[in-house]
Amino acid sequence: MSTFRRRLVTALVALTLVGTTAACAPQPTTQLLTGTAGLGSSAQESTQDAAPQAASRGAASGTVTAPQDCTDGLRAVASTDPGGSPEVTSGSTMAAIRERGALRVGVSADTLLMGSRNPFTGDIEGFDIDVARQVADAILGDPNAIQFRVITSGDRETVLADHEVDIVTRAFTINCDRWENIAFSAEYYHAGQQLLVPSTSDVTGIDDLAGQRVCAPEGTTTLERLEQWEGVEAVPAATHTTCLVLFQQGAVDAITGDDTVLAGFAAQDPYASVVGDPVSDEPYGVGIPADQPDMVRFVNGVLENMISSGQWEDSYNRWLGEALGPAPAAPKPVYGRTP
């Protein structure tokens, strides 16, 4: 890529970031909260029965990680059976949210296609945001009755444990370690870790990365996996968007992350390409405070309705279809976990 074109693309991304982090007037029932981690900054991480998907995916020197079995004998993706349609019962977590008048949701505002601020309308939108709106609609009868809290990847567990938000929909990979601190819904999207490289690069997968600098955000499973790749210089950054700026400045040779994230970056930078077979399974779930099992059951009921009604497929095609192809089958929920 010519120096002029690289600088032009970098400038355009910088303008996008300004639009992302600027204070925009919210809709009447949609509010933006910016807390300790969110003052104008956001990030993204790394998103059925996932075992068959893991078996079908190939990788070069990286091995696709099959869904974990936790110490309690349950699979990491196992959640709590909703036991029927979601209902707001007296004295429940959902009733308290209804009384408050808004669902508080931790989100990204700079992950194009999943959760990002529209520079023209100021709205935060994307596939993750659609999931949050389904939950808000089920509780409050209004998909816009949300207070968005823009958070980084590293903030996700903290804001849930401290009850600063009701749920997190932010490309949140379900794993056993996180179950120790928070709870998850059933899986609602299945992602895989890949690479973003310049279109002119000879890199086609992990085996070609020896001696190269690869960026990933701090506080993510992506960075943990990257640090295990031999011969690769791991470059941590505050956010995936920071990785993108470093990439466009030539300070790193590649970015690694979930396919959903990298697809959004490729859409922003026409001189970049997503390459390589997925080297991990990243099952996304809605993060929920550990002491609210009624909310877990409720959200799982909402997700079941979203899938059976066709809304999941519609949302996928709207946000991800062009970048990732036609909608796959929605993840099949795995239950069996008890409070």
Work out the pLDDT band at 200, boundaries 50, 70, 90: very high
Of the options 3.40.190.10, 3.30.2130.10, 3.20.20.60, 2.40.30.10, the CATH number for the domain spanning 12-48+75-190+283-335: 3.40.190.10
User: Which pair of structure tokens corresponds to residue 40?
Assistant: 């104008």
For residue range 103-160, what is the model confidence (pLDDT) as tens digits? 999 999 989 999 999 999 999 999 999 999 999 999 999 999 999 999 988 899 999 9
The answer to whether the CB of 124 falls within 8 A of the CB of 162 is no
Domain edges within the chain = 12-48+75-190+283-335
Global model pTM greater than 0.75: yes
- How confident is the model over 289-309, as a mean pLDDT? 98
Can you tell me whether residue 295 is helix, strand or coil? helix
pLDDT digits (tens, 9 = 90+) for 44-86: 333 333 333 333 333 333 444 445 689 999 999 999 999 999 9
- Using CA atoms, how far apart are residues 236 and 223, in angstroms rounded to an integer? 7
Average pLDDT of the chain? 84
pLDDT above 80 (res 21): no
Lowest mean pLDDT among 36-50, 86-100, 187-201, 232-246: 36-50
Q: Which residues contact 314 (CB under 8 A, 6 or more apart)?
A: none
Phi-psi label, residue 220: left if phi above 0, alpha if psi -120 to 50, beta otherwise: beta
Which helix (H) or strand (E) covers residue 233, if one does? strand 233-237
Residue 274 has pLDDT above 70, yes or no: yes
pLDDT of residue 32: 56
